[in-house]
Structure 1
């Protein structure tokens, strides 16, 4: 009876070899070695450690987060955002280390263009999945691309729920990024409210290990005013704490018709874990962005060139030129002019 065991691959090989044995071209001993080798090879190839990452990308729901790598990325690639650095590091490491979270991790990133919101979502994706934004488990929705027509909101709600349900069914550790939240039609984002709540399962699917990230320019003016007042009072920007901005930010978004969160149940029911302000960047931060661009292009360290490019950017207020008007958004284009 023991001979009846074996994988389908092993039996296929045996069937192929039987005619050779019958013709006397293969002795029983050699046939046994071939069968054992086939069984061993089949077992090796069927091991997830072999094909995951080599042949296909696999959903590794319980993969440990490399805390050191995440800290290094936030420290060396994100400039001028001490609040975002601290909150995102603690939020992601805490969430990923918890085997049974009570709800999905939900982050809402706010600030002017060029301050690092999209870049941070990229860093998060890269630290959860090796393929980063190219991973089939990372899903990007851009409001003006995926939800352009206000007359189709009902259809979009059904599609959005279906997309999220289908992808989380395939991989519980799915990441969903919603860009241009300030351009999203009012009420649409409430369609995902059940998936962000504290339910253990919805129709047999658990959403508790998923990550939702919202990116928005809404609230940027509010953040800039707060930082400017802080500076005028003689305080360092690094003295700003999350509590100085988070509650004001959430209330402002809830009451802002153009925020994507206007009277949203996501805010009303406290389903967004963190509202993370991205502060306006100063000249020194823009210079760091230029230096990073130079290194990425293989042009080495050139602080003099980096300073010239940074000084060529537009800053506000006009009298003090304290903050970059576009953050680091146009650094690459500006660098091309100087090169």
Structure 2
């Protein structure tokens, strides 16, 4: 009975499902109680698609976690009764770090007012210091501009070009001379006059250099502030020494007074100082070291002589094989102190003088003298002719070099014979 009842109930359920699936006709129109088979198929496909999509997302998230998580060790796990500990993800770690970085908000107790820091009062000392710094800067800048303007009065660049073009073979002496003049002419007020002493053998260009200096400063400061004193010409005999002393004193006094009024520096060039009488040398020393008035302190004295020429000749011949740098160093360390000592023994006027030795001229320098003189006289400077004329002069032969015994002294006479 039981089996029959079950079969009957099953058959009834099947009939009910078939009836539910079949459309019912009401008023001549079919009415579907459930979804059609095609719609059900679409729903099933959509559910499968969502299930596959969810599964793919789970697989991708598991792969991402596996890339950041360390590799599993192959060592056997130790059994513990503790449950699995969940490792924090990267996002949680970053959130924790951000929370730590955040500064805590300062809370003030209720009923109290927040007190501000101490008020900074305005410091007048800082303002005064800043103002004084500006004034000092303007004064220094103005002083520098005035120094440049004072040097421009004498055109030292033009003098350098003239000496480079006219004086041969005396590079070191020329540079020292220009350096001394530039430093002294930077300002008008000085504590002592500048004394430059040119020494060298015959024909090396001492007198020519003195003439170029006098000519340049005559053009720059005027004829009345430049004195070119030749001892044999201005004081030829010993009977006139007393008169020469008085005239020199009056002339120098007049020139320094005029230079003081015009705010310029006079220059005195004394040539052939080795022939100057002792009383005249004493008067010159007195004028150079005169300190009773300020106008005597602002002056330039150039002393030209052949005193010490033997020491210069021996030094050049002994160091002929040395390089230019070594020769320059030995000149400042050995030759200049030797000349200073011998000059002071001759007269104390050289005690505070700047010694500028002029060296012997080589054959190439003599050839330059011939070329310059022939160009001045209107002759064509033929190289073969110049070499022939330069070969007629006597030389010192040492260290593979030829040094002229008389320098360029005979150049003018030989060119005049052409």
TM-score (norm 1): 0.69
- Distance, in Å, in 1 between the alignment partners of 2:162 and 2:255 is 27
Return the match for 2:236 from 143, 148, 151.
Answer: 148
CA apart distance, 1:323: 1.9
**Preserved contact between residue 155 and residue 220 of structure 2 (Cα < 8 Å):** no
Contact 2:153 2:220 in 1 (8 A): no
Decide which structure has greater helix share.
2
Q: In the TM superposition, what whole-angstrom CA distance separates every residue of 1:25-67 from its partner, at most 9, and x where no partner exists?
A: xxxxxxxxxxxxxxxxxxxxxxxxxxxxxxxxxxxx9862223
1:251 and 1:187, CA in 2 relative to 1: closer, same or farther beyond 3 A?
farther
In the alignment, which residue of structure 2 is the partner of 1:335?
415
Task: State whether structure 2 residue 272 is matched by structure 1 residue 177.
Answer: no
Per the TM alignment, residue 141 of structure 1 is displaced from its structure 2 partner at its CA by: 2.0
Q: Aligned to 1:130, what secondary structure does the other structure show?
A: helix
Using a 3 Å threshold, how does the CA distance of structure 1 residues 291 and 211 change in structure 2: closer, same or farther? Answer: same
Q: What is the SS of the residue equivalent to 2:219?
A: coil
| Matched residues, number | 263
Relative contact order, higher structure (CA 8 A, sep 6+): 1
The structure-2 alpha-carbon separation of the partners of 1:207 and 1:74, relative to structure 1 and needing over 3 Å to count, comes to same
Q: Separation in 2 of the partners of 1:319 and 1:67?
A: 36
- SS of match in other structure, 1:171: helix
8 Å contact kept, 1:102–1:198:
no
Residue 356 of structure 2 aligns to a residue in which SS? strand
Structure 2 distance, partners of 1:229, 1:284, is 20
**Pick from 187, 211, 230: which aligns with 2:319?**
230
Query: Contact (CA 8 Å) 1:281, 1:327: kept in 2 or not?
Result: yes
Matched, 1:193 2:285: yes
Instruction: Indicate the SS of the match to 1:160.
Output: helix
**CA–CA distance in structure 2, aligned partners of residues 97 and 129 of structure 1:** 19
How many angstroms does 1:73 deviate by? 1.7
Pick closer, same or farther for the CA change 1:137–1:318 going to 2, 3 Å. Answer: same
CA contact (8 A) 2:200 2:309 kept: yes
- In the alignment, which of 251, 264, 285 is matched to residue 163 of structure 1? 251
The correspondence for 2:342, drawn from 242, 252, 255, is 252
In structure 2, distance between residues paired with 1:212 and 1:112: 21
- Calculate the TM-score normalised by the size of structure 2: 0.57
The worse-fitting range, judged by mean Cα deviation, of 82-91 and 319-328 is 319-328
> Equivalent residue of 1:129, what SS?
helix
When the two chains are superposed, the root-mean-square deviation of aligned CA atoms in Å is 2.8
Pairing 1:310–2:363 present = no
**Inter-partner Cα distance in structure 2 for 1:106 and 1:94:** 13
The runs of 5 or more residues in structure 1 that have no matched partner are 1-60, 256-261
Cα drift, residue 299 of structure 1: 3.5
Change (3 A) 1:335 1:154: closer
1:218 deviates by 1.1
Instruction: Name which of 72, 80, 83 aligns with 2:161.
Output: 72
The Cα shift of 1:174 comes to: 2.3
Cα distance, 1:151 vs structure 2: 5.2
Partner Cα distance (2:373, 2:220) in 1: 21
Task: Flag the structure with larger Rg.
Answer: 2
Alpha-carbon spacing, 1:294–1:126, altered in 2? closer, same or farther (3 Å): same
| 1:210 counterpart residue number | 299
